[in-house]
Amino acid sequence: MVNTATRPALVPAAAGTPPGYEPPFWQRAGAVWRQLAGSFSRDGFSFEWHELQPPANLNWANSFHPASVEICLNLQGFGWVVADGARMDFGPDTAAFFATNGGHLQAQRLAGQHHQFLSVEFSLPFLQHRLTFHAAHLDPLIRRFLAGVSPVVGLSGATPLTHRHRDLLQSLLHPPVLASAQRLWYESKALEFAAEFFFSAGETEPLCTRAQRLAAERVARAKAVLLENLAEPPSLEELGRRVACSHFYLSRTFTRETGLTISQWLRRARLERAAELLRTRKCNVTEAALEVGYSSLSHFSQAFHEMFGCCPGLYPLRTPSQQTPPLKLVPDA
């Protein structure tokens, strides 16, 4: 988890603001808040647009409606949501949902960042009326929520936004129907979002297994990005954005999965690539150093010697038993 000692103080929620009373909450946070369509209390669903840049970490848990499920399409900004001990980190271009009925969610959006996101909110009666018939095929969290058991609190994992998600979002801004039909059209869009996010494919995957799979996938994507950009690797923040998670989460997960920090792994990958270029005689020492991002030959030679036990000019004129085992770039099958 992120070291809370280094976090800025929270922007406090408005005193006495009841959960779910959103406009005053977002106004006090200095946010642009716009209800695109629907009404949570009247229609059972609501599409809401948010844009803000908080000066300190924003506790946005008090914006959640009670007895609700919320889908968040996060275009910009990092943050996290915690439910029942499980934590979901999100970053730019990610989507996730969370549910609460009598339980407590914790949520923060990080300070100093430009946040843009769309929330699609559903009431318990709306989903019970329309999804109960399909309960056997729903995500386990949604099934528990529909059962009306209290307390229920939980969240999905964050997944990358797809082209389909973006198309859905864009369609909300320009409904292709007459004004008199827009309420019905927006309700159909709400159900489309529910169909996209709330149904489970095949056998239910245990939450812990899914979390492990997603973590491994993100680390694999991070490795691929680094290998494609050895000479000019992205910043940690950019790397997190490209694999759809916060850089705090990526750092922890990467070290847990590989036993190395991201900078340690990148250093080894660079030197392995340089050794390959020298071994195959595709580059001389200077060319190999520049190819993998070293601008200083002395720093390159020192790092190379530390890893392979000889200077790059002599490589690979050594016995195989002396060579450092190569970095495992992909996991075993």
| pLDDT, tens only, 201-230 | 655 555 566 677 778 878 888 888 898 888
With a cut of 70, say whether residue 324 has pLDDT above it: no
pLDDT at 12: 31
**Per-residue pLDDT tens for 263-297?**
999 999 999 889 988 988 888 999 999 999 998 99
pTM summary value: 0.57
Q: Are strands 79-83 and 105-109 parallel, antiparallel or unpaired?
A: antiparallel
Please provide residue 266's backbone torsions phi and psi, each rounded to the nearest 5 degrees. -65, -40
Considering only CA atoms, which of 58, 59, 107 is closest in space to residue 83? 107
With a cut of 80, say whether residue 19 has pLDDT above it: no
- Please report which confidence band the pLDDT of residue 317 belongs to, taking 50, 70 and 90 as the band edges: low
Amino acid at 280: T
Q: Give the C-alpha separation, 10 to 111, whole Å.
A: 9
pLDDT at 333: 41
**CB contact at 8 A, 250 and 262:** yes
pLDDT at 184: 93
User: What average pLDDT does the segment 172-186 reach?
Assistant: 89
pLDDT at 155: 85
For each of the domains in the chain, give its residue range(s) and CATH number, in order of start.
Answer: 4-204 (2.60.120.10), 235-333 (1.10.10.60)
